[in-house]
Structure 1
């Protein structure tokens, strides 16, 4: 087991399960942000029933399960066995849902199929070198297919590869994984450099309340 796998298994144990229903009483739903019942929905992917979509870093599977429940062929990958165990316990009987343990770049390099949309919600697009990941995503997107991802906005002055810490026990040092942070304009430039079109990056404000950190949401087309 790699250090990265151990880190994300540890993170999985710290994350609560998705609620049985959302604020509208729905049993499946799509959420791009770190706040419940906030932000846009799956329509950002621009796909119809029957589309093949890929979740890079699906975690416990809630977003991918929602897409499958609405008639998509949803493929979710995650590097953490514990995340996937939780996903399978809850969503294994959802028609149209596939779950795989895999590294994002390796999966895209080896999967022979194409996708109508690829997305990442605080997932692999944040924690994989974009110089490695963006080209292989584009290769697997059908012409006109969308890449959409969300993550926390960059801290001012902290750009590029950063350290992200996952806490453990009181007497253990935290685990460290890498993440890639850029301002919206930098993401737009980076995606355009890799051949993506109609690129748009912006920060969605946090919902009303004490929280101030919004959500960076990036969309692009192959």
Structure 2
């Protein structure tokens, strides 16, 4: 069995120590301030929702608490993030289900399950889209919605890639050693192309400017697409 180092071990840990509340708002922007909210997902009443790369499951907890879905599955491969999400929001079961799994592996076992799938700088950013997006389409019911936010350009301002290739970005192992992980930061037309090839229609890509300016600020691509019937 291959053991993969959990490169998300440290992410969100400081916030979790001081903030255990369910967020009152849903944010797509990189800064997690302002901008559109969960209305992008439409009426979620009675629907089955999946958060791909949910991290500590804050966005999923918001939907489970403030909307009326049948269920929200918060899916994340990181053992540390799964444990954090369970500690913070496990009490929201059964409406919120916290799932420890790679997004691709999970979707391969849940064909036709979801009415809505979304990713907020989550699995869509860190999985080869040519591998992920076809199984996202398979995981959705006909006419189901995919929505995701991703970087419109690299932090620091370098332009997005003109081909479907990842970049190595800084990360840390659980013991604090410096390493890298792969992230896909693509131009708008590439997301449209890969979504179309993966079985999506009604593809819409919007560029949202940063709510605040700073050295690590970035514009956000907000993408929605509908699974073909």
Quickly say closer, same or farther: Cα 1:36–1:181, change in 2 above 3 A.
Answer: closer
CA deviations 1:108-164 (Å, max 9, x no partner) are 011255101100111100100111111111011111111111121233264421112
Alignment partner, residue 220 of structure 2? 215
Alignment partner, residue 76 of structure 1? 74
> Does 1:2 pair with 2:3?
yes
Distance 1:65 1:180 in 2: 26
Aligned pair partner of 1:190 in 188, 194, 200:
194
CA deviations 1:23-60 (Å, max 9, x no partner) are xxx85331112223311111111232111000001001
The question of whether the paired residues in 1 share the 8 Å contact of 2:170 and 2:179 is answered with yes
Alignment partner, residue 27 of structure 2? 31
Alignment partner, residue 94 of structure 1? 92
Quickly say closer, same or farther: Cα 1:210–1:176, change in 2 above 3 A.
Answer: closer
- Secondary structure of 2:24's aligned partner: coil
Distance 1:41 1:78 in 2: 22
Distance 2:182 2:214 in 1: 28
Q: How many residues align?
A: 215
More divergent stretch after superposition (31-40 vs 137-146):
31-40
- Secondary structure of 1:106's aligned partner: helix
Q: Quote the RMSD (CA, aligned, Å).
A: 2.4
The question of whether the paired residues in 1 share the 8 Å contact of 2:6 and 2:173 is answered with no
TM-score (norm: length of structure 2): 0.84
The question of whether the paired residues in 2 share the 8 Å contact of 1:47 and 1:117 is answered with no
